[in-house]
Amino acid sequence: MEISYLRVSVTDKCNLKCFYCRPDNSEFVPHDEILRYEEIAKLVKVMTKYGLKKVRITGGEPLVRPQLEELVKMLKSIPQITDVSLTTNAVTLSKHAEKLRKAGLDRLNISIDSLKPDLFFQITKGRLEDVLEGIKVSKKLGYDPIKVNAVIVKGLNEDEALDFVEFGKEYGVEVRFIEMMPIGGEQINWSEDKVQPLVRIKSRIEEKYGKLIPAISIGSGAARVYKVPKLGTKIGFITPISNPFCDGCSKLRLTAEGHIKLCLRTDEELDAKTVIRYGTEKDLDRFIKKVLIEKELSNQKIIRSGYAFSDCRRIMTSIGG
């Protein structure tokens, strides 16, 4: 198989504290254990021989790591890489958006779980106005599309679905609704009671705006994308619980400390850092071939399990969102 898409975590640190992502007792990876930018670029370059074309930079919160634009430049200098994007909480994006754009960053995904400032603070311990300023600055700089990810938690923010649709139109962004996943297990107090099946959100939106029209979007990945007929804007639904999308997956994750994670549904990982730091290019090439075999086996195992989240003890900030 080929791998077309790699999510690269550059840090497990974050300047927010979302309850489903970073519990109170979380510990950070020591600085010396974090992959250097040059090491990330080295791995990406070898992976392009096996189909890699798109890289998404994640965290933790990637903007807390200094000089992130240098990594963007390195990745954009690899001819086979056609798309470099960033997932961010956007709290400090207004300060970084321009230099990242000049470095070649193509797209942005921004996390917003509530449009109510008080609830936003309750969920994240951050300020919504900082995030909105980051979006405004980024739009002026020409980032397109900008996608806004909203994790929907039953009993918390599902009543904001229509507000998010209107927000997408007002700000010129594509909103994507995401079902809460059991990543981190007991550490985040996940339960099925917190999962809002997005088919209900979709029905609520269609009641107001009419039947949604299937659409496509750049880098849509796991999202099922639709056009809202009365508004002309696009929205997406990511349904890992109620309607999994694992078949044919060609995505891998690289954790900040240099482990290849095969899937969010399992804690299975392979140590890439050792071979990146101490191996030859041939060693790294052999390692990637092994990863491809393990990825295919993992996909089959997950499908046979009925798409169960079998082992997900690592919290989201330590994996890369």
Q: Residues 5-319: name the CATH superfamily.
A: Aldolase class I (3.20.20.70)
Q: What is the pLDDT of residues 70-111, one digit of tens each?
A: 999 999 999 999 999 999 999 999 999 999 999 999 999 999
- The model carries a pTM of 0.92
- Token pair, residue 276, equals 């990146």
Q: What is the pLDDT along the chain (321 residues), one digit of tens a residue?
A: 789 999 999 999 988 888 777 666 667 888 899 999 999 999 999 999 999 999 999 999 999 999 999 999 999 999 999 999 999 999 999 999 999 999 999 999 999 999 999 999 999 999 999 999 999 999 999 999 999 999 998 889 999 999 999 999 999 999 999 988 766 556 556 566 677 889 999 999 999 999 999 998 887 578 899 999 989 999 999 988 887 766 667 789 999 999 999 877 777 899 999 999 999 999 999 999 999 999 888 888 777 777 666 666 666 555 665
Closest CA to 246 of 195, 311, 309: 309
Q: ∠ CA 268-273-276 to the nearest 5 degrees?
A: 130
Which amino acid is it at 41? A
Three-state DSSP class for 54? strand
Contact indicator for 267, 313 with CB cutoff of 8 Å: yes
Q: ∠ CA 230-168-121 to the nearest 5 degrees?
A: 140
Q: What is the pLDDT of residues 6-51, one digit of tens each?
A: 999 999 998 888 877 766 666 788 889 999 999 999 999 999 999 9
Distance CA 228, CA 249 (A): 27
Q: ∠ CA 246-223-11 to the nearest 5 degrees?
A: 80
Handedness of CA 134, 104, 173, 126 (dihedral sign): negative
